[in-house]
Amino acid sequence: MTMWVFGYGSLLWNPGFDPAESHLAQLPGFHRSFCMRSVHHRGSQENPGLVLALDRAEAVCHGLALSVRSGQEDQVLAALRERELVSSAYVETQQVVSLRDGRQVQAVTYIIDPDHVQYCGGLPLEEQAHIIAHAVGGRGPNTEYLFNTAAHLHELGIQDHELDWLTARVREILA
């Protein structure tokens, strides 16, 4: 059985593996948002950044379903866990996602734990913009994460008005 991974943030532009297939996909019941404080990859304990997470909502998240090449499942899953579960703010789940071609597949999907200390759902967009503009972590500036994700969503034809607003506002703050 093919292993699938659902990407909605950095997995869109840096999955960490070479997928056998990549398809536009939809995940109902979740909203992509900057609702997780990043104290490792895009911020620090002293100056946390923000990263995207899937927050439960009456919405549909548009992203990519990435299939893992046969024989690489254990290696890919281990790398994803090392990356995504660094602080236990994400929960590894299996979710049914709908591919653009009509297929439905089970995909490894990382969602936010709303009870985790790093959860910060509901922050005003202006506050998010100021945090993202100034935070830097082990994987680089928080701005790079925002700009790369927004650019790849555009390339895929996925509209995300919040990310568009944040991108424009962060550029204003930095100007």
Amino acid code (one letter) for 62 = H
Residue 136 structure tokens: 């830097």
92 is catalytic: no
150 within 8 A of 160, measured Cβ to Cβ: yes
CA dihedral 52, 57, 58, 61 (to 10 degrees): 20
Torsional sign, CA 164, 170, 173, 175: negative
Q: Which of 58, 73, 82, 84 is catalytic?
A: 84
- DSSP assignment of 113-164 equals -TTSTTB-TT--HHHHHHHHHH-EETTEEHHHHHHHHHHHHHHHT---HHHH
DSSP secondary structure letter of residue 11: G
Q: List residues with catalytic annotation.
A: 84
